[in-house]
Structures are given as structure tokens and as C-alpha cells.
Chain A
Amino acid sequence: MNDIVMTVSHLTFRYPHQPQQTILNDISFHIGTGEVVSLLGANGCGKSTLLKLLQGLLQPTQGDVYLLGKRVQEWTRRDISRLIAYVPQAGQLPFPYRVRDLVAMGRIPHHGFYHQPGKDDDAAIDEAMQRLGISDLANKTCTELSGGQQQLCFLARALAQQTTVILMDEPVNGLDFGNQWRLLSLLKDLAADGYSIIKTTHYPDHALGLPGRAVLLHQGKILQQGPPPEVINPASIRTLYQLDESSYPALRYHPNKNEAGF
């Protein structure tokens, strides 16, 4: 059964220095254990801001984000870091950390900044790297990795963090076709293990390929939400991306294509 892990309730957000511009407007959705929520929307629709609000990095203007029934602001940073992990986009890293050291940073919420990592930390690090098949990269420096390997390395850090929720900001950005779908099937496995995953994505077919729900954001509001095959259809894509059906190939991996109108 799905227990509710996070609830977003009537969330409205404006930056204090731009009070006339509403970034997010009355957003409500929730995520249970073992669910994947894909946030879809055009550039600038508020996806990244929403991720920050979920972590408690920004203060909601109205409404609330609940984590395990308690408002996110009421948790301490340390507690949040034991419940929510964040996977950034792969990109240039300024310093050449060893992969294992980078993954080990995920243990900090558990042993703190001033305490020595112990055996359980080593075990969690090794397990996370094995799970993602990057054990052989342990001694490489992260600046020599490809984008896909880097993404796996960040994900391993999130697994080593042993949280309930994993937030991912466009996890497949910059990955080649093979790595994109390998990563998505990995996310499917992680969800089956009980992780709740919230990710932003630019690709409707990536939401279709995953179980769980899609939340479509349009101009700061929720256009539609529900199981991906139900909400991703030519009409919603037209609204989200101003794109006519004839200008993109039929979306694949759609279980009941005809019903949805593709």
C-alpha cells in the first residue's frame, strides 16, 4: 500500500523581490512510497522552483509542503537531509574529487561534518556503488567521467544518503539514448524498492515509460495530473509546449495508444 510521504497543499510562490509575478499558483499533489512523480512543463514553468520548495529551500508564499505529515520548515536541515536526497544535473565539476569520495559525501547527514565515518558508512557507500554498477569507477576522478557516469555517481551519492525521497533535476539531461533509458529503468527498480522519486523532465515519453504519476505544470499552475498514459495526450502536449500533433513523432511506450488519442 502507498503511504503518503510528501504532500504539497495549495502551494503558491512568488519571489519576495518580484511580488507581482506568480511563479507557482495553487499547486497540490502528493507522493507515496515507491511512487515516481514526473514533473513536466515548458522551460520556465516553475519546475526547478518547485524542487527548491520541496526541499524547504524557499519559503512558500501561501500553502505548505508536508514531509511525513509535518511541514517541511519545521524539520531541521539535518533531518530533512536524512529524508530527502537531491540529484543535480550532470555538468562540469570544478574540482577533481575521486568518485568514491564524492559518493561518500552522501553519508554526511548520518555522521555529521566532524565525526569519523565508520564501517556502516563504508558499507552504504559500497552498496550504493554496486547497485548502480559503478564500483569499478571508485578511484577515477569525477572530472574524467562522461555525463552518464557522472549522473550515476550523483545518484549513488543519493543512495548512500539512505533517504526516503530522491529529488532529481532533469536526470537524463545530456545523456545519450542508451544511458537515458538505462537510467529510467534503474529508477523503476528503485521505486520498486520503496524509494519515492520526484523528477523533472523535458520528455513526455520518459514519463510514459515509468510507473507512477505525471504532474503537468503550465504557467505556474497544474494543468493535469494522474497516471502518465491518461494525462499525456495530444491536447495536453499542445497546451504545454504549443506543439501540434503533426510536428512530433508518435510517443512510444504508450500502453493504450488509441484510447489516449495518439
Chain B
Amino acid sequence: MTDWLLKASGRLSYHWPDYLSGRWMLLVGLLSAAILLSLVSGRYALEIQDIVQFFMAHIGWQTMDSNRYELLETLLMEIRLPRLLTAALVGAALAVSGSTYQAVFINPLVSPGLLGVLAGSSFGAALMMVLAPAWWMVQLGAIAGGLLAVVVALGIGRMFGNASTIMLVLGGIFTGALFAGLLALVKYAADPYEQLPAIIYWLMGSLGLANMDDLALYAPLMLAAIIGLTLQGRVLDILTLGDDSATALGLSVSRVRLMLILLATLASALTVSLVGMIGWVGLLAPHIARLLVGPLNRQLIPASALVGAIFMLFADVLARSLMAAELPIGVVTELIGLPVFLLVLRNVRKGWNT
């Protein structure tokens, strides 16, 4: 017991100085700003004061006009908070699984989107929406579809040469196209009055329907995957050295790799069943995080989670305030993702030799 405590405290004291650096402070500051912005912005704009007053009243430190309190309670606790939590969780999950895929496949150009995992998950989820529309069937369908997509993408990568960068990316493109085709088939078969609009709206990626009940169903598994992967930092570092070196350092490569792929796919597949397809976050967040805290996964994975959450929160604020009607968040991340990717790509080429 004491031995365990010593180990745990040793681990903490080893890690915490890293997390007090300016770059981590910047991330935490940005996250706080994003959270605040996400709470105040929207059709019914609020002041920061309102938020403070409401939360003071909520914990009973201050009194507030009861009509106003009820309005704020509906607005904040039932609409904006679940929305904020969903956005942050989805962003973190996509970013962490992106970082994991990049380490596992030793390839800085893969992501849940580029590997076709998101397409596979949306096919699986849509299929279940039509066949057996229960939340857990949809969830299961998304996970199964995501795993199937990884298998197909990897299989194609392996079929021509040793899963090189370019073949893996091509395999992902193939997988994405394959599952997009299958998805079109599902859409064609779906009931055009009820199911089809639901599927299409969900696929564009929307946070408009975010609520605490859905979150309670999906969040535990996603959080477990995120935390699980965060603890594997050093294992991921070793994996990026290649199979022979990793084995020589004592890692059971194939078993560990399988587990990591499962966790990463779980995290990204669930984002699809929760809010639909969100592009670019899984590719961009790891690269931005790498620019900030360096390539060691022990720090990169948690930093990616923060960057992904921040990115999604800001994207959601834009989605809500750019136009009179709310834009689907997936559309916004696509649109701001592209220019950001061009900026990042410069550094990718410089430091990553790809």
C-alpha cells in the first residue's frame, strides 16, 4: 500500500512541473475563455455578470429575481451547459484519438477522418437508425462501423507495401469513399419523410440537440477512452520507434497496438453517434498541440484534448453567431479547419519530414 502511494506520488511529482509551463497556462486560459464565451454567446446574449450572478444564486450565496433565475436556469443549465460539455468532450475525444492514431501508425498524416473511421461510424450509426433505432444499437453500430473502417484502411495499406504513409492515407481515402457509398445506400433505403431528414441533419454535425440525457449515455465511455489513452503516453512514444525497437524495449507490440486502436476508435466513433461527422479536429488538434508542447505523447495527448476542446468550443460559438440561423458545427469545422491546416502544414513539413 505504502509502496503504491510512493509510486503514485512520485509519478505526480514527476509530472506536475511540466504542466506549470507557460504553454499549459496558455491552453488552460484559452479553454476558460472559450467556456465563458460559449456561455454568453447565442441568440439570447448574456453578460459575464449574468453568469456570475446566476451561479452565485445557484449555489445559494446570493439571491436573484426568481423569473430571471428561471430564465437563466433554462438557458444555461438546460441548453448552453450540455452543449458546451458535448462540444468540449467531442473535441477532446477526436483530438486524442487523432494523436493516438498518429503514434500507433507512426504517421503524422492520419486522423479519425482521414482513416475513414468517421465515415465507417456514420454508416454504422445510420444503418442502425433505420434498422433498430435504439440509442445503444446506434452507439454499437457506430463503434462497429468505425472498427470495420480501420480494418479496411489498414488492410489496403498492407496490401500494397508495408503500410507506408502514402498507402495508409490512400487506404483511408478508399475507406471513406466506400462507406460514403454504403451510407448513400442506407439513405436511399430510409423513410424519406422521417428518417432521411433526421439522418442528413445529424450527419452534418449539430450540437443543437445536445442535452444532459444523451451526454450521460455517451460521456462515460468517451471519458474512459480519453483517460485510458492519456495514461499510455510513454507506450505511444515507444511505438513510434517502430516494431523492432519497441519490442527490444520490452513492449508487446501487437497486443498493445490492438488495445490502443480499439480505444481510439471507441472515442472517435462515439463522437459520430453523439453529434455526427466533425471533420479536421482529429487532424489539426494533435498538430497544434505538438507545436505547443512537443512530440512526447505523455504531454501531447492531454494537450491535444485541451486543444480539441478549445477548437470545438470556438467553432460552436461561430456556428451560433455567424448567421441568424445556427450553422451545423460540422460545416464550421470544415470551413475553418482548411485554412488552419494550411498554416500547420508548413510546420508539419519542416519538423516531421513528410
Asked, given contacts A94-B107, A105-B238, A115-B11, whether A55 binds B247 with beta carbons under 8 Å apart, the answer is yes
Complex CA gap A115/B235 in Å reads 12
Q: Is A77 an interface residue (CB 8 A)?
A: yes
A9 to B244, CA, bound (A): 23
User: Which chain A residues lie closer than 8 Å to B7 at the CB level?
Assistant: 115
Contact check: which of B108, B251, B352 meets A77 at CB < 8 Å?
A: B251
Contact indicator A116/B14 (Cβ below 8 Å): yes
Q: Is the CB of A80 within 8 A of B250?
A: yes
A88 touches B242 (CB 8 A): yes
Q: In the docked arrangement, what's the CA distance between A141 and B294, Å?
A: 10
Residues of A within 8 A of B247 (CB): 55, 57, 77, 86
A79 CB to closest chain B CB (Å) equals 8
Does A143 contact B351, Cβ atoms closer than 8 Å?
yes
Interface stretch of the complex, out of A12-20, A96-104, A204-212, A226-234: A96-104
Collect the chain A residues with CB atoms within 8 Å of residue B241's CB.
Answer: 88, 105
Complex contacts, A84 vs chain B, CB 8 Å: 248
- Tell me how many residues of B have a C-beta within 8 Å of chain A: 34
Q: Is A172 an interface residue (CB 8 A)?
A: no
Give the interface segment out of A33-41, A59-67, A106-114, A123-131: A106-114
Bound together, the chains give a CA A106 to CA B352 distance in angstroms of: 22
Binary interface encoding of chain B residues 78-117 relative to chain A, with 1 for a CB under 8 A from any of its CBs, else 0 = 0000000000000000000000000100111000000000
Q: Which chain A residue has the least Cβ–Cβ distance from B105?
A: A94
Q: How far is the CB of B14 from chain A (nearest CB, A)?
A: 4
- Evaluate contact between A108 and B238: CB separation under 8 angstroms: yes
The interface residues of chain A lying within 8 Å CB-to-CB of B63 are: none
By size class, the interface of chain A is 35 or more
A84 to B237, CA, bound (A): 20
Given contacts A86-B244, A86-B248, contact A94 B106 (CB under 8 A): yes
B14 in contact with A95 (CB, 8 Å): no
Known contacts A57-B244, A96-B351, A141-B351; is-contact A109 B249 (Cβ 8 Å): yes
Mark A residues whose CB is within 8 Å of B: 51-52, 55, 57, 77-78, 80-82, 84-86, 88, 92-98, 101, 105-106, 108-109, 113-117, 141, 143, 161, 167, 169
Task: Give B contacts to A, CB under 8 Å.
Answer: 7, 10-11, 13-14, 103, 106-108, 231-232, 234-235, 237-238, 240-242, 244-245, 247-252, 290, 294-296, 351-354
- What are 30 A-B residue pairs whose CB atoms fall within 8 Å in the complex? A77-B251, A80-B248, A80-B250, A81-B248, A81-B250, A82-B250, A86-B245, A86-B247, A88-B244, A94-B106, A94-B107, A94-B240, A94-B352, A94-B353, A95-B103, A95-B240, A96-B294, A96-B295, A105-B249, A108-B250, A113-B232, A113-B235, A113-B238, A113-B251, A114-B234, A115-B7, A116-B11, A143-B352, A143-B353, A161-B249
